[in-house]
């Protein structure tokens, strides 16, 4: 156990020694600041446009533009971008060693391949969690600090209003779900990384798989309808389920189970392949 902790620390050191690791944090920071500035200057216009639907019949009381709305918008904007940032680091975890020619040297150490993979994946997962925590800190923390608390209005099939008191647990659940989704993405990139000798392939491959499947299943909705429930990409925006007025627990459970199944599959393939792999670089 002690050696595993040491290995994880070493892997984390390697991750945070690379400049690309900070691209994710920098990008999230810039995007969130841009969203917050946009809401500050143009939020009321956007709100007025959205409210045209209700404006004919209703008048509103309450602080609509608040930290929770900002956090929701941040999540809505970033759920397709964060996988790219996750893949940027986790796609490099194994292939990066091959690329830099350090694998054979690494394998001369008295550690099993399984242990090395576990350490590498947990280090990559730690990065993923830190990325999400950073998003919470800047998105939610900054949003609440500058825009204050308030109820949340969410537009889906219907318009859902949530009181401020129930929002902390909804956001906590949404972020926890998001962490699971990003772990699956990390596992996919990790798996592709185990097959590659260069980190560009797994990174681009992961992004291509996610965006490709998402586009195909969105545009060809009727064609892909029977397959969609079995694709992990279908569940990437599943965090939105926590902003349904009545929680669909069966749907959430199914989303979690499908994602866990993919997680096991991706990691299983990685471990199976890597344990038999010829290390040539």
Residues of this chain that interact with other proteins (CB under 8 A) are 46, 49-50, 53-54, 56-62, 64, 76-77, 150-151, 153, 155-161, 163-164, 218, 221-222, 225, 237, 240, 245
Smallest distance from other proteins to CB 179, Å: 19
Smallest distance from other proteins to CB 67, Å: 14
Smallest distance from other proteins to CB 43, Å: 13
214, 236 contact by CB (below 8 A) = yes
Residue 144, classed as helix, strand or coil, is helix
Smallest distance from other proteins to CB 159, Å: 5
C-alpha to C-alpha distance for 58 and 244, rounded to whole angstroms: 22
Closest CB to other proteins among residues 230, 245: 245
The contacts of residue 217 (CB under 8 Å, 6+ apart) are 224, 227, 228, 231, 233, 234
Closest CB to other proteins among residues 172, 245: 245
Closest CB to other proteins among residues 240, 281: 240
Closest CB to other proteins among residues 200, 227: 227
Residue 220, classed as helix, strand or coil, is coil
Closest CB to other proteins among residues 151, 197: 151
Smallest distance from other proteins to CB 129, Å: 23
Integer-rounded Cα Rg, in Å, for the chain is 21
CA separation, residue 33 to residues 24, 26, 41, 192 (Å): 14, 11, 12, 33
C-alpha to C-alpha distance for 122 and 184, rounded to whole angstroms: 13
Q: What is the DSSP letter of 154?
A: E
């Amino acid at each position: 156990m002690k050696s595993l902790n040491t290995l994880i620390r070493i892997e984390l050191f390697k991750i945070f020694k690379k400049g690309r690791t900070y691209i994710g944090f920098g990008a999230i920071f810039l995007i969130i600041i841009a969203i917050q500035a946009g809401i500050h200057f143009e939020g009321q216009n956007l709100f007025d446009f959205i409210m045209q639907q209700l404006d004919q019949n209703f008048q509103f009381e309450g602080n609509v533009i608040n930290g929770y709305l900002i956090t929701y918008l941040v999540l809505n904007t970033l759920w397709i971008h964060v996988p790219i940032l996750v893949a940027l680091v986790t796609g490099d975890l194994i292939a990066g060693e091959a690329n830099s020619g350090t694998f054979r040297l690494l394998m001369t150490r008295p550690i099993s391949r399984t242990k090395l993979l576990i350490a590498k994946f947990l280090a990559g997962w730690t990065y993923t969690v830190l990325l999400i925590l950073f998003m919470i800190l800047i998105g939610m923390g900054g949003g609440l600090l500058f825009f204050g608390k308030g109820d949340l209005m969410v537009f889906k099939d219907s318009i859902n209003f949530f009181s401020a008191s129930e929002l902390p647990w909804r956001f906590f659940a949404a972020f926890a779900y998001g962490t699971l989704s990003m772990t699956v993405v990390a596992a996919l990139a990790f798996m592709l990384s185990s097959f590659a000798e260069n980190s560009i392939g797994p990174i681009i491959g992961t992004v291509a798989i996610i965006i490709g499947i998402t586009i195909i299943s969105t545009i060809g909705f009727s064609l892909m309808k029977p397959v969609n429930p079995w694709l992990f990409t279908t569940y990437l925006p599943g965090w939105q389920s926590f902003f349904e007025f009545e929680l669909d627990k069966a749907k959430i459970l199914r989303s979690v189970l499908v994602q866990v199944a993919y997680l096991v599959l991706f990691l299983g393939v990685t471990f199976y392949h890597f344990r038999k792999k010829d290390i040539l670089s």
